[in-house]
Structure 1
Amino acid sequence: MLTNTPLSYGVMARGLHWAIALLILSAIGLGLYGESVPRTADTTALLQTIYSAHKTIGVATFFLAVLRVLWTLGQTRPVPLHPERRLETWAAEAVHFALYGAMFVMPLSGWITHAAEQGFAPIWWPFGQDLPFVPKSDTLAHTAGHVHKTAIWVLYTALALHVLGALKHVLIDRDATMARMTTGRAAGREAPPATQGAAAVAALAIWIAVLLFALLGSAGLPAHGTAQDEARATTPAPAAPDAATGNWAVTQGSLSFDVVQMGAKVQGHFGNWTADIHYDEGSGTGHVTVQIDTTSLDLGSVTDQAKGSEFFNVSHFATATFEGDITRKGTGPDHIATGSLTLIGTTAPLTLPFTLDLQGDTAHMTAQVTIDRRDWKMGAAYPDEGTVGFPITVSVDLQARKS
C-alpha cells in the first residue's frame, strides 16, 4: 500500500526512510574517509572524487528530506505500539524530530559553504554549485562550515539513539516496530495519536542551542580571510616599513591571483604586503620593491594545501619579493616594471606592465600579468595541468599618495 494507515507505514514512507538513511550513512562514511586521506599530489584526484560524492549525496539528501516532510504532512501517523510508555514514546519522537533537523541543517550548511567558497570538488550534475542569495565570501563559508562541523554531533547522537531504540524493539521488546518500517506490517491498536508538540519543541530547542553555539563559536575562530570580493576591492596594504625611503606611500590596495584547479578557476589573495615606491613623474622612471607576506595567503577551501611544502611552503619561505625598475611607455599612462620575483627560494625574471593614473599628489595603479608556476619550481609534484594549471594570473590594484 502506498500510503500510511493508523497501524502501518506505506511504501512511500518506508522507501523515503531507507533511501535517506542510506544516503546519510554514505555521506558520513565518505566524509570520514576523506578526512583520513593524506593531502598530497598523489591523492588530490581521489580527494576531489570523495568530496564531490559527499557533497552531491548531501544535496540529494536535502531534496529527499523536503519530499519526505511534504509527504508526511499529508499522511496518517501510525500509532505508537506502547502508548502507555509515555517517556519512551516522547523520547523517540524527540529523536525523530532531531533527525529531521539534521536532514536540513547538515546538507544546507554544507551547500552554503560550497557556494560561498571557491574551487575544490564540484557538486555533480544535476545539482548546481551556487545558491541564490549566497555570495562568494570566505567569512560566510567559514561560518557555514563551522555550523556543518558542529551539527554533525547532533546527527551522530540522534542517529545512535535511533539505532539503539530500533535494536531495543527487536532484541528486548520483540515487537513489530522494525517490521512496520521494513515490510509494512500492521501493528498496534487504533487510537487518537498523542500530540507531538512537546517532542517537536524539545528537538527545536536543541537545534537552536546548537546553531547559536556554532555561530558564536565561528565568530571567535580565525577564518582563512575576509570575503574575497571585498578583499580585492578594499583590503588596505600595510604601511611601508619605517626604513622605507620611497616617495610614494600606498594608502590602500589589493594583491590577488587566479589559478585553475581541477578545471575550475580559483581566486586567492594576500592580506599583508608592503611596497617601497620611488617614482619621478617628469621622467616616468623609478624603482619599486614589494615584500609579500606569504603566510597571509587566502585561497578558500584549499588555503592550507597551497601554504604547504608543495606550493608556497610558508613554513620555510614566509616572504616573496618583487624588485624592478619602472619606465614609462611614451607619454601616456602605460608603464612597465622590469625586474625579478623571488618566490619559495627561487628567483626568476618578471616584467610587469601597468597603468598609472596621476591626479596631483595621488596615484592609482592597476596591473595584471600571467606567470608560469614552473618558473619558480612551484607544484613540482603536479607535472601536468590536470590538477593545477601552469598559468597564474596576478592582479594588482593600489592607490598611493606622494610623501
Structure 2
Amino acid sequence: MKKYSLRSRVLHWMIALLAVALLAGGFFGQTIPIEEKAAFYSPHKSVGLTLLALMAFRIYAIRADGYPELPAQAALWQKTLARGVQYGLYGLLLLQPLSGWVMSSASGHTPVYFGLFAVPFPFIHDAPSIAHIARNVHGVCPWLIIMLMVLHITGSIKHYFFDRDNVVQTML
C-alpha cells in the first residue's frame, strides 16, 4: 500500500501534536485567574497561527501528492466515513485558529506572533458583534475536533489491531 508523502506525514504529526497542545491549553486557560489570561493566551495565539499556516500547507501537500487508496475490501460506508472524518478535521483545524484570530482582532487584542510582530486579521478591528460570533465558534470547535479525533484514532486502532491491513503504516 502506498504511503502518504514524507511532507504529509511530517505535517500530520506536527499538526496532531500542536492541536492536542492547543486543545489542552485552551481548556486549561479557562481555569486561570483573569489577570494571568493575557500572558497565557499570547503564546496560545501564536501557536494557533502556526497551526493555521501548517494546515494550509497540509492541504496544499495533500492536493499535490494525493491520498493513498483505502483498502479495496473496505465497505463504501467505511471509506465515506474515513474521508468525512478526515475532511471534517481539516475544516475544523482551519476554522478553530481562524475563529480565534478573528475573535482576538475583533475584540481589540491583536495577536503578536511570539512577541515579534502584530498579526491583525484583515479588515477586522474592534467589532464586538463579530468577536461574539467568533468566540462562540471558537468555543464549539474544540468539542467537534475532539469527537472527530476520537473517531480518527478509533479507526486507526480498528485497522491496526482488527483488520491488520497497512492503513496505519501509510502515515508512519
Q: How does 1:143-154 map to 2 (within 5 A)?
A: 143-154=133-144
The letter of the residue matching 2:42 is S
Q: CA deviation at 1:104?
A: 1.1
Instruction: Please list the CA deviations of residues 187-236 of structure 1 after superposition, one character each: whole Å capped at 9, or x if unmatched.
Output: xxxxxxxxxxxxxxxxxxxxxxxxxxxxxxxxxxxxxxxxxxxxxxxxxx
CA distance 1:98–1:18, shift in 2 (3 Å): same
The letter of the residue matching 2:127 is S
Residues in 1 aligned to 2:18 and 2:103: alpha-carbon distance in whole angstroms: 20
Structure 2: which 5+ residue stretches go unaligned? Answer: none
CA distance 1:84–1:177, shift in 2 (3 Å): closer
Tell me, what secondary structure is at the counterpart of 1:7?
coil
Instruction: Please list the CA deviations of residues 267-319 of structure 1 after superposition, one character each: whole Å capped at 9, or x if unmatched.
Output: xxxxxxxxxxxxxxxxxxxxxxxxxxxxxxxxxxxxxxxxxxxxxxxxxxxxx
Residues in 2 aligned to 1:151 and 1:73: alpha-carbon distance in whole angstroms: 24
Task: Confirm or deny: 8 A CA contact 2:111 2:118 kept in the other structure.
Answer: no
* Counterpart for residue 89 of structure 2: 99
CA distance 1:127–1:79, shift in 2 (3 Å): farther
The letter of the residue matching 2:95 is V
Is residue 8 of structure 2 the alignment partner of residue 18 of structure 1? no
CA distance 1:176–1:115, shift in 2 (3 Å): same
Aligned Cα root-mean-square deviation (Å): 2.0
Q: Whose strand proportion is higher, 1 or 2?
A: 1
* Counterpart for residue 276 of structure 1: none
Task: Confirm or deny: 8 A CA contact 1:9 1:181 kept in the other structure.
Answer: yes
**Equivalent in 23, 29, 36 of residue 31 of structure 2:** 36
The letter of the residue matching 2:83 is E
Residues in 1 aligned to 2:160 and 2:8: alpha-carbon distance in whole angstroms: 20
Residues in 2 aligned to 1:19 and 1:104: alpha-carbon distance in whole angstroms: 15
Instruction: Please list the CA deviations of residues 213-269 of structure 1 after superposition, one character each: whole Å capped at 9, or x if unmatched.
Output: xxxxxxxxxxxxxxxxxxxxxxxxxxxxxxxxxxxxxxxxxxxxxxxxxxxxxxxxx
Residue identity (%): 28
Is residue 42 of structure 2 the alignment partner of residue 55 of structure 1? no
CA distance 1:74–1:126, shift in 2 (3 Å): farther
* Counterpart for residue 87 of structure 1: 77
TM-score (norm 2): 0.90
Q: Whose helix proportion is higher, 1 or 2?
A: 2
* Counterpart for residue 164 of structure 2: 174
**Equivalent in 102, 106, 110 of residue 100 of structure 2:** 110
Task: Confirm or deny: 8 A CA contact 1:56 1:127 kept in the other structure.
Answer: no
Q: CA deviation at 1:24?
A: 0.4
Residues in 1 aligned to 2:166 and 2:117: alpha-carbon distance in whole angstroms: 38
Instruction: Please list the CA deviations of residues 43-73 of structure 1 after superposition, one character each: whole Å capped at 9, or x if unmatched.
Output: x34x333211221111111111111111211
* Counterpart for residue 65 of structure 2: 75
Task: Confirm or deny: 8 A CA contact 2:85 2:152 kept in the other structure.
Answer: yes
Q: CA deviation at 1:25?
A: 0.5
Task: Confirm or deny: 8 A CA contact 2:23 2:142 kept in the other structure.
Answer: no
Bigger relative contact order (CA 8 A; separation at least 6): 2
CA distance 1:146–1:61, shift in 2 (3 Å): same
Q: How does 1:368-383 map to 2 (within 5 A)?
A: none
Q: CA deviation at 1:155?
A: 1.2
Task: Confirm or deny: 8 A CA contact 1:62 1:103 kept in the other structure.
Answer: yes
The letter of the residue matching 1:37 is I
Tell me, what secondary structure is at the counterpart of 2:17?
helix
Structure 1: which 5+ residue stretches go unaligned? Answer: 1-5, 183-403
Task: Confirm or deny: 8 A CA contact 1:113 1:144 kept in the other structure.
Answer: yes
Q: CA deviation at 1:179?
A: 1.6
More moved, 58-67 vs 148-157: 148-157
Instruction: Please list the CA deviations of residues 326-350 of structure 1 after superposition, one character each: whole Å capped at 9, or x if unmatched.
Output: xxxxxxxxxxxxxxxxxxxxxxxxx
Residues in 1 aligned to 2:79 and 2:46: alpha-carbon distance in whole angstroms: 34
